[in-house]
Amino acid sequence: MIIGNWKMNTARADALALAEAVANIEHQDTTRVGICPPALWIDPIAHILKGSTILLGAQDCIGDQFGAQTGCINADMAHDAGCAMAILGHSERRARFGETSESLLPAVASVLETGMFPVFCVGETQEERESGRALDVVAEQIRPLLTAGLDLDGIVIAYEPVWAIGTGFSATTADIEEMHATVRDVLGRTDALVLYGGSVSPESADEVFSAEGVSGALVGGASLNADKFAAIVAAWERK
């Protein structure tokens, strides 16, 4: 599974052109490929991707029903617009808006109820890794999922070390393997889908995908270039 997170990038014309290019990326039937554009571009991109195998997703949503929540979109809106997934708990939102795993549980439940799948993000800061707390921090971010009566089969975990996002640095193969094993141990599921994110690029993809237990990637900056994104998909398929 390779998912592109466009974050707060692209003007409308650029977004539609990029979506057209991504829709034409060749990939195996067994590889799920998706993109999460800014919310304003979801609807027009849904029309572009119609009939293609590329999945569409939202970068965030809330668990509330319709009502007085200015500026928010809920899971029903995202699903109705054509989304198959929603990113939840990205470190940028945890840092800026104070999101926590506990506060995200209603959104996780709502996403699952629509038939979409949540891409639930976890990861440690540089300080937490250097102090030897990385595994404990990520485990604590995951544990709330276990006590909320959620269908864990439908949840995709994205491990993104905060210090690697947008920095050009990536975790070592050993670190990725250790963390992905820890995620599965906490979930109690050896078959859980766990993606890696954090400066995944055509140059780093082969090494990242060589790590045991990696189920794919959540790609940031490189997903804004269709050729680079296609190269990451190709790297996944030749691993």
Model pLDDT for residues 61-71, shown as the tens digit of each residue: 999 999 999 99
Q: Is the pLDDT of residue 115 over 90?
A: yes
The residue that leads in pLDDT, 3 or 168, is 3
Tell me, yes or no, whether 127 lies in a domain: yes
Tell me, yes or no, whether 108 lies in a domain: yes
Tell me, yes or no, whether 179 lies in a domain: yes
Share of the chain above pLDDT 70, in %: 100
Q: Is the pLDDT of residue 233 over 80?
A: yes
Chain mean pLDDT for the chain = 96
pLDDT by residue (tens digit) across 20-45? 999 999 999 999 999 999 999 999 99
| Cβ-contact 42, 81 below 8 angstroms | yes
The active-site residue out of 90, 92, 124, 180 is 90
Is 160 assigned a catalytic role? yes
Domain count, the chain: 1
Q: Is the pLDDT of residue 108 over 80?
A: yes
Find the distance separating the first CA and the last CA of the chain, reported in whole Å. Answer: 13
Tell me, yes or no, whether 142 lies in a domain: yes
What's the pLDDT at 33?
A: 98
192: containing domain: 2-22+33-237
What's the pLDDT at 146?
A: 96
- CATH number, domain of 107, equals 3.20.20.70
What's the pLDDT at 173?
A: 95
> Using 50, 70 and 90 to split pLDDT, how confident is the model at 171?
confident
Tell me, yes or no, whether 160 lies in a domain: yes
What's the pLDDT at 113?
A: 97
| Distance (Å, whole) CA 189 – CA 191 | 5
Tell me, yes or no, whether 106 lies in a domain: yes
> Using 50, 70 and 90 to split pLDDT, how confident is the model at 169?
confident
- The structure's pTM equals 0.96
Is 26 assigned a catalytic role? no
Please state the rounded mean pLDDT for residues 148-163: 94
DSSP designation for 211: S
Tell me, yes or no, whether 28 lies in a domain: no
Q: Is the pLDDT of residue 170 over 80?
A: no
What's the pLDDT at 168?
A: 76
What's the pLDDT at 183?
A: 98
**SS3 helix, strand, coil % of the chain, rounded to 5?**
45, 15, 40
- Residue 191: what residue type? D
Burial of 206 (0-12, 13-18, 19+ CB in 10 A): middle
The residue that leads in pLDDT, 120 or 170, is 120
Tell me, yes or no, whether 27 lies in a domain: no
The active-site residue out of 99, 124, 128, 160 is 160
pLDDT by residue (tens digit) across 43-52? 999 999 999 9
